[in-house]
């Protein structure tokens, strides 16, 4: 297994290097457009102008990017940046907040740090763009594409060919259910009831996305949120490597999410939905992937787990899985992106990976 993983990681490195080279030439993308709905794991600047604590447009964020801090919650590229590389785009998908008209046909990133499936999730941090509001913004994009292409039918046909990343749910736990001092959900719902309520709402939101023409949708599960440095520090582990109770809730949500994917594929037969098991991809022995530090972040953090402005981070960033107390380093993002695009294990995605989804 170790030998197989090393071979796969070598292929992964080749894949990412090749995709980096594509950014310097006029590449022909594998899909004409890429749309992104999510939270801080993939936010690339939508929160920069908002009155919120959930911002990252200051150093040391972006320390490994040529342009420096951009609003990405990492030292470098996010998972969707790397996916865009792999897909052959010659530039990263721009944030909705400062979208140029010339970019609109190539896709939009609507993601917002602290955002959730539920409207109130993350509200204690300030303004954020919930999934419902991200879908409203996509409606604006749909209208602009309709105007650009001349008809609603032309816009729909274009959007049918795009890839859609949807990754929500983490903040509905981290910045809602597990913060009883700010939210009442843990008093109002058992873990089972809460997961079911989230999935019901999520399903309706994804159907709204489908109504705007989405036909190739990759839905990313909640990751190992009980293994974040913030969770470990805040809750303790009782001798485990992670906070097991939090990861069990993530597993419960993800199990129901797989069932939702089955339901969507059964009901919406003109589209294809896949599930990406980020919890599984992010679990296991990190040392097998070359990481040496997995329980603390690379940068000094403040009370909410974000990097302290202008404080010097670690030098060996490629050996850390976490950049701050919540978010992966670029090195970890490369693995998640590559394994969602092309499976390393059959369980990485269901019922297929992104490389097969985009060919449908």
Q: What is the pTM of this model?
A: 0.94
Which of 40, 121, 170, 325 does the annotation list as catalytic? 40
Is residue 327 part of the annotated active site? The answer reads yes
Measure Cα distances from 248 to 15, 32, 84, 222, 253 in Å: 33, 38, 31, 11, 9
pLDDT tens by residue, 268-321: 999 999 999 999 999 988 998 899 999 999 999 999 999 999 999 999 999 999
- CB contact at 8 A, 202 and 194: no
Compute the distance between CA of residue 127 and CA of residue 113 in angstroms, rounded to an integer. 9
Is residue 340 part of the annotated active site? The answer reads no
Note the residue count of the chain.
Answer: 360
pLDDT of residue 101: 87
Measure Cα distances from 37 to 27, 84, 137 in Å: 24, 14, 10
- CB contact at 8 A, 201 and 223: no
Tokens 């809460």: give the residue: 194
Compute the distance between CA of residue 116 and CA of residue 106 in angstroms, rounded to an integer. 25
Where helices occur in 175-243 by DSSP H, the ranges are 185-188, 191-211, 229-235
Would you place residue 238 in the very low, low, confident or very high pLDDT band (cuts 50, 70, 90)?
Answer: confident
pLDDT of residue 27: 60
Which of 19, 327, 336, 348 does the annotation list as catalytic? 327
Q: What is the largest CA-CA distance in the chain?
A: 61
Strands lying side by side in the sheet with 163-166: 34-37, 163-166, 216-220, 272-276, 349-350
Checking if the pLDDT of 6 tops 70, the result is no
- Say how far residue 41 (Cα) sits from the centre of its chain: 5
Rounded to the nearest integer, the mean pLDDT of the chain is: 94
pLDDT of residue 39: 99
Compute the distance between CA of residue 227 and CA of residue 59 in angstroms, rounded to an integer. 25
- DSSP character string of 232-269: HHHH--TTSSS-HHHHHHHHHHHHHHHHHHHHHHHH-T
Q: How many CA atoms lie within 13 A of 191 on its CB side?
A: 12
Angle at 31 between CA 29 and CA 37, to 5 degrees: 115
What are the chain's domains? Answer: 2-357 (3.40.50.1110)
Establish whether the linkage from the previous residue to 351 is cis, with ω within 30° of 0: yes
Q: What's the rounded mean pLDDT across residues 137-151?
A: 97
Checking if the pLDDT of 341 tops 80, the result is yes
SS3 category, 56: coil
Which of 324, 325, 348, 353 does the annotation list as catalytic? 324
Q: How many CB atoms lie within 10 A of CB 243?
A: 24
Q: How many CB atoms lie within 10 A of CB 96?
A: 23
- CB contact at 8 A, 113 and 56: yes
Residues paired with residue 166 on neighbouring β-strands, in sequence order: 37, 219
Find, among 219, 48, 199, 231, the residue nearest to 118 by Cα.
199
Q: How, if at all, do strands 349-350 and 272-276 pair?
A: antiparallel
């Amino acid at each position: 297994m170790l030998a197989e993983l090393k071979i796969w990681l070598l292929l992964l490195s080749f894949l990412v290097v090749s995709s980096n080279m594509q950014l310097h030439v006029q590449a022909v993308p594998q899909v004409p457009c890429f749309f992104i709905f999510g939270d801080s794991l993939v936010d690339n600047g939508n929160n920069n102008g908002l009155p919120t604590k959930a911002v990252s447009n200051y150093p040391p964020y972006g320390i490994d990017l040529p342009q420096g801090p951009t609003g990405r919650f990492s030292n470098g590229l996010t998972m969707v940046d790397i996916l865009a590389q792999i897909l052959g785009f010659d530039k990263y998908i721009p944030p909705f907040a400062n979208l140029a008209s010339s970019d609109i046909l190539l896709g939009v990133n609507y993601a917002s740090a602290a955002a959730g499936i539920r409207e109130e999730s993350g509200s204690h941090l300030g303004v954020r763009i919930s999934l419902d509001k991200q879908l409203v913004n996509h409606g604006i994009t749909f209208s602009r594409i309709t105007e650009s292409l001349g008809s609603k039918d032309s816009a729909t046909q274009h959007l049918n060919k795009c890839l859609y990343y949807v990754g929500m749910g983490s903040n509905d736990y981290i910045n809602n259910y597990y913060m009883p001092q700010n939210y009442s959900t843990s008093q109002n719902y058992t873990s089972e009831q809460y997961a079911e309520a989230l999935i019901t709402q999520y399903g309706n939101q994804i159907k709204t996305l489908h109504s705007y023409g989405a036909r190739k949708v990759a839905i990313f599960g909640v990751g190992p949120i009980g293994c974040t440095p913030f969770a470990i520090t805040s809750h303790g582990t009782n001798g485990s490597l992670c906070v097991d109770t939090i990861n069990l809730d993530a597993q419960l949500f993800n199990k129901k999410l797989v069932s939702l994917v089955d339901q969507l594929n059964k009901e919406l037969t003109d589209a294809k939905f896949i599930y990406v098991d980020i919890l599984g991809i992010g679990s296991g022995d990190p040392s097998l992937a070359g990481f040496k530090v997995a329980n603390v972040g690379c940068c000094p953090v403040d009370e909410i787990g974000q990097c302290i402005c202008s404080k010097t981070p670690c030098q060996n960033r490629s050996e850390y899985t976490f950049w701050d107390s919540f978010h992966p380093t670029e090195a970890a993002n490369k693995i998640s992106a590559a394994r969602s695009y092309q499976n390393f294990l059959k369980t990485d995605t269901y019922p297929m990976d992104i490389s097969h989804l985009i060919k449908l």
